[in-house]
Amino acid sequence: MAEHATPTLAQWAGGPEAFRRLTKLFYEKVPLDPLLGPVFAGMDRHHSEHVAAFITEVFGGGPNYTGVGGSHAGMIARHLGRHLTQTQRKRWIDLFLETADEAGLPDDPEFRAALVGYLEWGTRIAVLNSQDGASAPPPGAPMPVWGWGPPGGPYQG
């Protein structure tokens, strides 16, 4: 990184390893949660790594997800027909943010605002695409890209 370059969200978070740590902890808790446990009953054993790779890529950390055959359309497809509810979505976010603290992700206002904004958007996309009538985007649909938004960069003191 150039001396004064603004880090990507992924760099500021601690790189792919930080997201792997976060999702590993998160998906260890999910099966124990009364609302989320049943939703993830058939979870792939690599699920947490796939979600970590997806978020790392969205946050500017490189092709961690698409580089190993993943795609935005493929990710959306995993939510089709699941009839996710707003109650489940809200629990997912609450538990994810609680776990972000436990995993030691940065807690500066700028990073957390970007994280919450992405999670609010991403979970609503997941719920929408889980309802009857939803269909996956075309296979070549681009991955979402998330940035710092109005604060423009991390907390500087």
Q: Can you give the binding site for ligand HEM, defined by CB under 6 A? A: 39-40, 42-44, 46-47, 50-51, 54-55, 75, 78-79, 82, 84, 88-89, 92, 119, 122-123, 126
For 9, 25, 40, 61, 147, the CA distances from 12, given in Å and listed in that order, are: 5, 20, 29, 10, 11
Tokens 């309802």, residue located: 131
Burial class (CB in 10 A: 0-12, 13-18, 19+), 86: exposed
**Residue among 82 and 112 whose Cβ is closer to ligand HEM:** 82
| 21/79 with CB nearer ligand HEM | 79
State the minimum distance, in angstroms, from the CB of residue 148 to ligand HEM: 17
| Beta-carbon contacts of residue 24 (< 8 Å; ≥ 6 apart) | 48, 52
CB of 136 to ligand HEM, least distance (A): 12
Q: Which residue is nearest to ligand HEM (CB)?
A: 122
Q: Which is nearer to ligand HEM, 4 or 45 (CB)?
A: 45
**Nearest residue to 12 via CA among 143, 110, 119:** 110
- Which CB, 79 or 154, lies closer to ligand HEM? 79
